[in-house]
Amino acid sequence: MMKMPSFLHYSLPPPRSFFYFCLLLLLPLLLLLLLFVAPSSSSSSQDNNNNKVTLSLYYESLCPFCGDFIVNHLVKLFQTDLINIVNLRLVPWGNAWLAPDGTFLCQHGNDECFLNTIEACAVTVYPNVAQHFRFIHCIENLTLEGRQNQWVNCFQMTGLPKLPLDCYTNGNGKNIEQKFAQETTQLNPPHRFVPWVVVNNQALQEAYKGKSKPDGCRSLSTRTYDMMKDGNNSFQKPVCYVGHVKNLTLP
């Protein structure tokens, strides 16, 4: 288990696959489309909440593609006024699974399980979405820089109390993660990788049913194929797939 010990800047290389580019392209466009078609006749707070777009992100810590999506892309909801019409839900379980004895098993080892639980606790103990997103953003930012063992510094960096530690040590975090595990396994269609985005109960990856690709996606897809054909060693999968296990141990 990992030792409990202003955001950092991380520069993302250009998207490297057809899917990843289109995921980033579809997210803001789909949100804006739902904004325009949603009823807006009532101005009451309750009605306004009911008309919000629900965006659920299923992800796992230590997956660099999840971290990048949160740090460099999902954050734009808060940098614009889109968060005012979005009910953002973060579900940190991802491709983890439960052993027969109830133990959590994670793709990236025990350290991922620990951080998943800490982030699940943050979602619960900081019910304000701006607060728990700020804390999770901080942790994911550190993981992108290979400094995930410094995650505890995020309390000072965000100015938030250490409530997630209490949640973890008193066992409540395990209960929260079990609920997130159940929710993730009941996704329909089942998630195949993370980050997995669901908008108003519709998997974003399943939203487009057409056979033709937009020009932007087509050109990037061709460029990705050329990189693979040329044996470019820098090519990486843009997501963390179900069943791909990496047993990582932090220093």
Lowest-pLDDT range of 2-16, 79-93, 151-165, 166-180: 2-16
Q: Examine residue 154 and state whether it is found in any structural domain, yes or no.
A: yes
The tokens describing 43, both together, are 């101005």
For residue 241, list its beta bridge partners: 193
Q: Examine residue 91 and state whether it is found in any structural domain, yes or no.
A: yes
Where residue 212 falls among pLDDT bands split at 50, 70, 90? low
- Percentage of residues in the chain having pLDDT higher than 90: 59
Report the distance separating Cα 194 and Cα 244, nearest Å.
11
Q: Examine residue 137 and state whether it is found in any structural domain, yes or no.
A: yes
Q: Examine residue 90 and state whether it is found in any structural domain, yes or no.
A: yes
pLDDT of 88: 97
Tell me the per-residue pLDDT of 24-69, one tens digit each, with 9 for 90 and over: 555 665 555 555 544 444 455 555 667 899 999 999 999 999 999 9
Where residue 239 falls among pLDDT bands split at 50, 70, 90? confident
Write out the residue range of the structural domain in which residue 168 sits. Answer: 53-203
* Count of domains for the chain: 1
Lowest-pLDDT range of 52-61, 63-72, 174-183, 229-238: 229-238
The helix, strand and coil proportions of the chain, stated in percent and rounded to the nearest 5, come to 50, 10, 40
Q: Examine residue 12 and state whether it is found in any structural domain, yes or no.
A: no
Q: Examine residue 212 and state whether it is found in any structural domain, yes or no.
A: no
- Percentage of residues in the chain having pLDDT higher than 70: 64
> 121: closest CA among 176, 42, 59, 196?
176
CATH number at residue 66: 3.40.30.10
Q: Examine residue 235 and state whether it is found in any structural domain, yes or no.
A: no
Q: Examine residue 214 and state whether it is found in any structural domain, yes or no.
A: no
Model confidence at 187: pLDDT above 50: yes
Q: In a 10 Å sphere around its CB, with 0-12 CB exposed, 13-18 middle and 19+ buried, how is residue 119 labelled?
A: buried
